[in-house]
């Protein structure tokens, strides 16, 4: 492209920009020029560069806000919220940090997850994570040999709190405490790590051995079904 043709193209773009649509909650003529970005092609009198992923974009004060999105330093981006809480792993004497808990974020009234997160618990069962959410959601938590619990209508606007208390005893992980779980626990009875019959999911109390204590945990929850 010649220099003259390039100048004409820039002029046309400028004219089109001034005619950008406006009205309602947003104005298409809004713009911000910030530092950052990467130059990925150069040659002659021109350089082709990108400002995608500017470090100042996330977390900057919104320039214009409305609906679900903000125009923040040149970007339309989804609002984030901090979700935190405690997962109580009932009848468990082990370290909660060794247990993987799956968290599903769902639209209200739906069982289809929008997002699924593995929760990293602290030794006291506390978790915290940033999620690209802004609104009201159903939150559902499930751990290996615990039944699922679902909290309905949890508000997440900037921040939110969701605490769970998960019922122990689901050895086979099918979200129900039944004779199948009893059979698996019986098959692992007396075993410790390294033994041929060892099944970590049957060690319900997390003490490193399948004992009568684990049978007691299962019996208390026998016949229970987790939430969907």
DSSP 96: G
Average pLDDT over residues 107-111: 94
List all residues 6 or more positions away from 180 whose beta carbon is below 8 Å from its beta carbon.
Answer: 171, 172, 174
Confidence of residue 116 (pLDDT cuts 50, 70, 90): very high
pTM value is 0.67
Q: What is the pLDDT of residue 17?
A: 46
Burial 198-226 (b: 16+ CB within 10 A, else e): bbebbbbbbeebbbeebbebbeebeeeeb
Confidence of residue 79 (pLDDT cuts 50, 70, 90): confident
Average pLDDT over residues 80-96: 95
CA distance 205 to 180: 18
Percentage of the residues of the chain whose pLDDT score is greater than 90: 60
pLDDT of 141 higher than 90? yes
- Which among 175, 166, 162 is positioned nearest to 101, based on CA atoms? 166
Q: What is the pLDDT of residue 29?
A: 52
pLDDT of 48 higher than 80? no
Q: What is the pLDDT of residue 132?
A: 86
- Which among 216, 225, 228 is positioned nearest to 109, based on CA atoms? 228
Q: In this predicted structure, which of 32-46, 78-92, 132-146, 178-192 has the lowest mean pLDDT?
A: 32-46
Confidence of residue 134 (pLDDT cuts 50, 70, 90): confident
What domains appear along the chain, each with residue ranges and CATH number? 3-78 (no CATH), 81-166 (2.60.40.10), 179-221 (1.10.1330.10)
Mean pLDDT, rounded, of the chain: 81
Q: Is 138 helix (H, G, I), strand (E, B) or coil?
A: strand
Q: What is the pLDDT of residue 6?
A: 54
Q: Is 71 helix (H, G, I), strand (E, B) or coil?
A: strand
Q: What is the pLDDT of residue 9?
A: 57
Q: Is 103 helix (H, G, I), strand (E, B) or coil?
A: strand
**Chain segment 187-204, per-residue pLDDT in tens:** 999 999 999 999 999 999
Q: Are 29 and 37 in contact (CB under 8 A)?
A: no
Average pLDDT over residues 84-98: 96
pLDDT of 59 higher than 60? no
Q: What is the pLDDT of residue 133?
A: 85
Percentage of the residues of the chain whose pLDDT score is greater than 70: 66
Q: Is 39 helix (H, G, I), strand (E, B) or coil?
A: strand
CA distance 177 to 146: 9
């Amino acid at each position: 492209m010649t220099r003259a043709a390039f100048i004409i193209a820039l002029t046309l773009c400028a004219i089109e920009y001034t005619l950008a649509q406006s009205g309602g909650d947003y104005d298409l003529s809004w713009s911000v020029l910030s530092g950052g970005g990467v130059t990925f092609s150069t040659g002659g009198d021109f350089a082709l560069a990108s400002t995608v992923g500017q470090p100042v974009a996330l977390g900057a004060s919104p320039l214009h806000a409305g609906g679900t999105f903000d125009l923040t330093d040149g970007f339309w981006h989804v609002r984030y919220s901090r979700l935190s809480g405690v997962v109580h792993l009932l009848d468990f004497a082990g370290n909660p940090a060794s247990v993987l808990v799956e968290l599903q974020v769902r639209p209200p009234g739906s069982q289809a997850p929008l997002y699924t997160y593995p929760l990293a618990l602290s030794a006291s069962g506390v978790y915290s994570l940033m999620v690209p959410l802004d609104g009201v959601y159903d939150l559902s938590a499930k751990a290996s040999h615990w039944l699922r619990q679902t909290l309905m209508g949890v508000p997440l606007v900037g921040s939110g709190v969701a605490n769970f208390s998960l019922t122990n005893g689901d050895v086979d992980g099918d979200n129900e405490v039944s004779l199948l779980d009893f059979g698996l626990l019986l098959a692992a009875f007396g075993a410790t790590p390294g033994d041929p019959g060892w099944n970590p999911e049957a060690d319900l109390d997390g003490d490193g051995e399948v004992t009568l204590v684990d049978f007691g945990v299962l019996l208390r929850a026998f016949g229970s079904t987790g939430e969907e």
